[in-house]
Amino acid sequence: MAQFTHLDDQNQPGMVDISTKSATQRTATAQAIVRVNESVAAAFQDGEIQSKKGPVFHTAVLGGTMAAKKTPDLIPLCHGLHLEDCDFEIQLDGQEIVITCTTVTTGKTGVEMEAMVGASQAALTIYDMCKSMDKGIVIQEVKLLKKTGGKSDFIAS
């Protein structure tokens, strides 16, 4: 039967005790999709060789990376850990900007939340930079694609 790992038997929220777990390498990949209007999509494909995509996507990577490092400050019951890698891919596919964020650590707990926060905040950074052109932007499909290490691996179906 389903149980909330962050609630004790009196339903009080709390951190999960990981002190007896062993430190192993763990990775996670998460995705976020930013759906923009035609005007914004066109602005990213403006024919200039130094494309607009450059600085906007760079800002998103940096916003996402810095937020991923801050995950334990953002998710109340998340453990602290040191990211050993935080890698972003951002592709423009028609009106969809597809962001993936892969995180790696060696430790007693997984890096799913770091990947999820990284992808979400990269998406929100793009939202911020495009919102004056399109207030109808939607961030959709923020989800975990894959994790390895820890009790079991996972690949999104």
State which of positions 74-113 bind a second copy (CB under 8 A).
Answer: 74-88, 90, 104-108, 112-113
Identity of residue 141: E
Pick from 19, 47, 93, 94 the residue near a second copy by CB under 8 A. Answer: 19
CB of 78 to a second copy, least distance (A): 6
- Angle (deg, nearest 10), helices 112-130 and 53-69: 140
Q: Return the structure tokens found at 98.
A: 């597809």
Output the smallest distance, CB 70 to a second copy, in A.
7
Per CB under 8 A, 2 contacts a second copy: yes
Closest approach, Cβ 73 to a second copy, in A, equals 7
Nearest CA to 29 out of 108, 86, 70 is that of 86
Query: Could you say whether residue 59 binds a second copy (CB under 8 A)?
Result: yes
Task: Give the one residue of 9, 49, 93, 94 binding a second copy; rule: CB under 8 A.
Answer: 49
Spatial distance between the Cα atoms of 151 and 53, rounded to a whole number of angstroms: 39
| 121 lines the binding site for a second copy (CB under 8 A) | yes
For the record, the structure tokens of 11 come out as: 């339903």
Asked if residue 73 binds a second copy (CB under 8 A), the reply is yes
What is the dihedral angle through the alpha carbons of 57, 62, 65, 68, rounded to the nearest 10 degrees?
-100
Tell me which residues are annotated as active site: 128
